[in-house]
Amino acid sequence: MLAIRLMRMGAKKRPSYRVIVKEKLTKRDGGYIENVGIYNPTRDPAEVRLNMERVRYWMERGAQPTDTVRQLIKKHGNAQQQPEGQDAGASNASAAPAV
């Protein structure tokens, strides 16, 4: 069974993570199939970059995200799909007819 999970990187007391696809029963920092993103919680705000196309690809093939990765996908996956420079509220306001 495949899992989408975090792999710890970085120095002592300064963690950063890769979001990876790997066999569920392998070691946390062992070999992996594909790197699909990064998560750096030490930045303010936390830096999250996910390749949502590849995440969807692996989930369609049965990969199960861990709880933490599932939260990252929910929170940051939708924000990355919108084109840069567009706000969801701004597009609705421009479509409203002038009274």
Q: What are the tokens at 16?
A: 């950063």
Domains of the chain: which residue ranges? 2-81
C-alpha pair distances (Å), 34 with each of 4, 18, 57, 68, 88: 9, 10, 11, 18, 31
The answer to whether the Cα torsion of 63, 27, 68, 72 is positive or negative is negative
Q: What are the tokens at 45?
A: 């705000």
Contacts of 79 (CB under 8 A, 6+ apart): none
The model's pTM is 0.74
- Which pLDDT tens digit goes with each residue over 37-68? 999 999 999 999 999 999 999 999 999 999 99
pLDDT at 21: 95
Helix 52-60 and helix 67-81, axial crossing angle in degrees, nearest 10: 130
Find the DSSP H helices in the chain. 52-60, 67-81, 88-95
pLDDT band for position 26 (cuts 50, 70, 90): confident
With CA atoms as reference, report the closest residue to 4 among 89, 98, 77, 79.
Answer: 77
Four-way CATH pick for 2-81: 3.30.930.10, 3.40.50.300, 3.30.1320.10, 3.20.19.10: 3.30.1320.10
pLDDT band for position 91 (cuts 50, 70, 90): very low
Mean pLDDT of 11-32: 91
